[in-house]
Amino acid sequence: MATEALKLTDVDTYYGDSHVLHGVGFALEEKRVLALLGRNGAGKTTCISSIMGFLAPRNGEITLFGTPIGGLAPEAISKLGIGLVPQGRRIFPSLSVRENLIIARQREKESEKPWTYDRILDLFPSLAERSRQLAGLLSGGEQQMLAIGRALIGNPRVLLLDEPSEGLAPLIVAEVARTIKQLKDGGQSIVLVEQNSGLALDVADQVVIFNTGRCVFTGPVDEVRNNDDLIAKHLGVFHAH
């Protein structure tokens, strides 16, 4: 039986009086990639914010390897082992590449094969060449790699990737996809929020589709890949096979 790394059960989240997530439920299996898909405003980033503790769910339960985390502070959730690569990257532009990575280190002792500074640079050789450069001077693709590296060096048990391909050139998007596959092959459990459905369907094992704050589809990636009606209805794109 597969271990559930992250599980949401009947989660309701509000922005003030506005009810944004309605009874959301899904489970990410350990060492798998689960893609959250949906149009802009469908509730995907709100879902990530609820998992990360930026927004406390009013109802429902969120568990990390069976431990309830719903409503905890973001710092506590991070320490328990959830890493976030936020939308828009949000690196520290006035710090060097090395400094961006070093300040994020945690949980090394608890990991079987911990992410260290050197291991991050092995994963992203272009960052190794620029370790002393200010992060604000990196290209968009390099900043994205740095944001992923910064999340990994915290040695997360579950990694949340929020729109990692946004604003990147196609060649760099392919590199992001390769990186996600590499992490999955290494046993990293990942939740991927992605507007680029081609990329998401290429790397994911499971798919959850959001529409107006509700999960309208949950299932294996193959069921989405071959269902143009589902894709057209909820994602507004026609996906060529």
Q: Are both 168 and 220 inside the same structural domain?
A: yes
Q: Are both 167 and 73 inside the same structural domain?
A: yes
* H/E segment holding residue 234: helix 228-235
Cβ(6)–Cβ(66) below 8 Å: no
Q: Are both 235 and 178 inside the same structural domain?
A: yes
Question: 123-156, pLDDT tens digit by residue?
Answer: 999 999 999 999 999 998 899 999 999 999 999 9
Q: Are both 6 and 94 inside the same structural domain?
A: no
**Given strand 33-37, what is the order of strands in its sheet?**
82-85, 158-162, 189-193, 33-37, 206-211, 214-220
3-state SS of 153-218 is CCCCCEEEEECCCCCCCHHHHHHHHHHHHHHHHCCCEEEEECCCHHHHHHHCCEEEEEECCEEEEE
Q: Are both 31 and 117 inside the same structural domain?
A: no
Question: 20-46, pLDDT tens digit by residue?
Answer: 999 999 999 999 999 999 988 889 999
Task: Give the residues across from 34 on adjacent strands.
Answer: 191, 206
Which of the listed residues 130, 155, 180 is the one where a domain comes to its end?
155
Q: Are both 183 and 224 inside the same structural domain?
A: yes
Q: Give me the domain span that covers residue 74.
A: 1-81+157-241
pLDDT in the model for residue 239: 47
Q: Are both 207 and 235 inside the same structural domain?
A: yes
Which of the listed residues 115, 137, 155 is the one where a domain comes to its end?
155
Q: Helices (DSSP H) in 23-71: which residue ranges?
A: 44-52
Give the chain's domain count.
2
pLDDT in the model for residue 240: 45
- 47, with CB counted inside 10 A (0-12, 13-18, 19+), is buried
CATH number at residue 189: 3.40.50.300
pLDDT in the model for residue 238: 47
Q: Are both 106 and 56 inside the same structural domain?
A: no
Which of the listed residues 120, 140, 155 is the one where a domain comes to its end?
155
Q: Are both 51 and 4 inside the same structural domain?
A: yes
pLDDT in the model for residue 106: 65
Q: Are both 77 and 161 inside the same structural domain?
A: yes
Q: What is the mean pLDDT of each run of 10 residues along the chain (241 residues)?
A: 92 92 96 94 92 94 96 93 88 92 71 86 92 92 93 94 91 92 96 92 95 93 86 67 43
